[in-house]
Amino acid sequence: MVPDAAAGLDHSVAERDEVWLGGVVLAGITANHCCANTARVSGKLLHRVLFALDASHTFDRPGPDGQIVSADELSRITATNLHGEFATTVSTRHLHGLQGEVVKECTHPFGPVLTERAQLPESRGLVPRGGRTERLVVIKAQAARVPATRTS
């Protein structure tokens, strides 16, 4: 999600409050910018925020000392900063068994970080060459209901 996407969630909550009673799952590019900021803002708006670290991505970055901090290390640091304060960090395997339905979607232009690194999603076929928009999707998910078994 883009950093300001969480601001729109406040309106979504007012429109369909039942969607948010169980919380929200965040994932995307970039984990240490957009996802982290959205988690912080969402944590103030919603009951529970889950950050799916293994469904998110970030990029290597130079630190203030000029040393490169790897994407893996940035992801780990981001998860550490969010976990227990703004979100619960989970892996996608913890999300299995959910039934989902798209309740809202929109398209936003890439932010500055993704614009600068657009070759990655292009090279993976996630956006067309020259494409500079991303699709944001809000999915309502519930635990699958298992029919009660009868015993004789």
DSSP assigned state of 124: T
Q: At what angle do helices 36-45 and 71-82 cross, to 10 degrees?
A: 10
Name every residue whose Cβ is closer than 8 Å to that of residue 58 and which is 6 or more positions away in sequence. 29, 30, 31, 32, 33, 71, 74, 75, 78
Q: Report d(CA 44, CA 41) in Å as an integer.
A: 5
Domains parsed from the chain with CATH numbers:
5-143 (3.40.50.850)
Residue 145 pLDDT? 56
Residue with tokens 């991303």: 134
CA torsion sign, 5 to 139 to 130 to 74?
Answer: positive
Interval 2-55: pLDDT, tens: 334 444 444 444 343 433 445 778 888 888 888 888 888 887 776 688 888 888
Interval 75-134: pLDDT, tens: 999 999 999 888 889 888 887 777 777 777 778 888 887 788 888 778 877 778 898 887
Q: Please state the pTM of the whole predicted model.
A: 0.62
Interval 40-68: pLDDT, tens: 888 777 668 888 888 888 889 899 999 99
